[in-house]
Structure 1
Amino acid sequence: MKRIDLNCDMGESFGPWNMGADAEVMPWITSANVACGFHAGDPSIMRRTVVLAAESGVAVGAHVGLPDLAGFGRRAMALSAQQVYDLAVVQIGALSAVARTQGVKVMHMKPHGALYHMVERDEDLAKALARAVYDIDASMRLLGRSGGRLVACGQQLGLSVAHEAFADRRYLSDGHLVPRGERGAVIEDVNIAAAQAVKLAEEGAVETVDGTLLSLRADTICVHGDRHDAVAFARLMHQQLRASGVELRSTEH
């Protein structure tokens, strides 16, 4: 039986400001990437999200982002490899401490937004991010772009890795995502997005914007929790994958 992890970025609210529908999406996913206060989230939100995940039997991971609350971590920054290492250590460490108070272990790390793409362009940054995970807990799994630089750097260190694909994003023929600023980068129709998830799970392939078929390893598929229809999106993808005979569980199990 084919296995797929459904991961979702969560805990992205901040103070009285609410982002996403975490409680409603949680039943349909298997891994939660919890914002650690740099691009989104705050200490109380982190704790509540960890508790929610634990109650739902969902694996907890650190969603490490750039220090950019105003830009939601989606603006690239000029950072050295040491700075990337340091910000990752602080964020993973903070979430690990919060999780420990709730009897939960942080099982994986996934970079957010601009950082996700920065490490794919710069090998030194990718090595620094992978090294931060390794130095904190070498048993932690590293999530990154399928076939990308980050997972390769993680494997070189001996880390377990999960190749990530996206159901609701368009792909270029080189395996990169169409930049968010370009028209059609996000698949708005949940039925089309769910069909793409099933194709990824069953065939390990996705149709690119130029119509070619791209082979893509998909250990885990991202559920974007900040969509306006996130609950319907997560539920439909969960149901259609299950109906196709795909087993849904986190990469840690």
Structure 2
Amino acid sequence: MHCVDLNCDMGEGFGVYRTSLDSELMKYITSANIACGFHAGDAATIRHTVKLALAHGVAIGAHPGLPDLAGFGRRAMDITPEEAYELTVYQLGAVYAFAKSEGGAVAHVKPHGALYNMAAKSRPLADAIAEAVYKVEPSLLLFGLAGSELIRAGDAIGLQTISEVFADRSYESDGSLTPRGTEGAIIADPARAAEQAIKMIRDGEVRTRQQSSFILKADSVCVHGDTPGALAHAIRLRAELEAEGIAVKKAGR
């Protein structure tokens, strides 16, 4: 029987700007990746989102990003592995403390945006992030793009890694995500997104933008909270997975 985790990036507001869909999306997912304050989020938002996750029985994850509020962490920055290590530890610490203070615990770490994509291709950055997670708590799960350097780095240091796939994004022939801004990068149709996710889970492959097939492992499926129609995506995906007999449950041991 196939099973999969369903995750979503959350808590990506700050100050008076709230991500209003979080409370609804929580009903359909099993893991929440909570922004840690660098690309989005702040103390109040982290705490609020942690409490939402606990109320819905959803796994809490830290979602560290590059220090770029204006660019939402989606613009690449020239950082060193040491800087990647430090910003990961710093941001993980914020969510870790709020989870503990509310009677919960952090289950996983998933880098955000440009940091995620940079670590997918750069082994030095991937090693630094994996080391940061391992040194804070070696039992934490490390989420990374399926087939990426981040997954290999996590495996090498002894972390349990979770190979992540995307329902609402198209893929390139090398297994990377199509860059945002490229035509077809975002899959807006919930039915098509669900179809792609099910194929990745059941068949272990995805059809790329170049019309080739890329073999991958699918432990967790991401639906972006800021994708147009995100709630419709989550509802359709959860229903389609269950209709196909694919169990939806939290990632990990």
Q: Shorter-chain TM-score: what band?
A: over 0.9
Name the structure 2 match of 1:157.
157
Per the normalisation by structure 2, the TM-score is 0.98
* Contact 1:20-1:230 at 8 Å conserved across structures: no
Unaligned runs of 5+ in 2: none
* SS of 2:142 mapped into structure 1: strand
Runs of 4+ in structure 1 off by over 6 angstroms are: none
One-letter amino acid of the structure 2 residue matched with residue 252 of structure 1 = G
Please state if 1:42 is matched with 2:42: yes
Are 1:26 and 2:26 matched, yes or no?
yes
- 2: CA distance between counterparts of 1:176 and 1:98? 33
Match of 2:242 in 1: 242
Report how many aligned residue pairs link the two structures. Answer: 253
Structure 1 residues 39, 53: closer, same or farther in 2, change over 3 A?
same
**Same amino acid, percent of matched pairs:** 49
By how many angstroms is 1:128 displaced?
A: 0.4
- Report the secondary structure of 2:27's partner residue: helix
Q: Counterpart in 2 of 1:74?
A: 74
CA RMSD, Structure 1 to Structure 2 (Å): 1.0
Correspondence for 1:177: 177
Are residues 1:61 and 2:61 paired?
Answer: yes
Letter matched to residue 46 of structure 2 = M
**Counterparts of 2:97 and 2:105, CA distance in 1:** 9
The reply to whether residue 189 of structure 1 matches residue 195 of structure 2 is no
* Contact 2:164–2:222, Cα closer than 8 Å, also in 1: yes
Secondary structure at the aligned position of 1:169 is classed as coil
Tell me the equivalent position of 2:131: 131
Q: State the distance in 2 between where 1:84 and 1:17 align.
A: 27
The equivalent residue for 2:166 is 166
* Cα deviation, residue 120, structure 1: 2.1
Structure 1, unaligned runs of 5 or more: none
Is the contact between residue 162 and residue 252 of structure 2 (CA under 8 Å) also seen in structure 1?
no
* Counterpart secondary structure, 2:239: helix
TM-score scaled by length of structure 1? 0.98
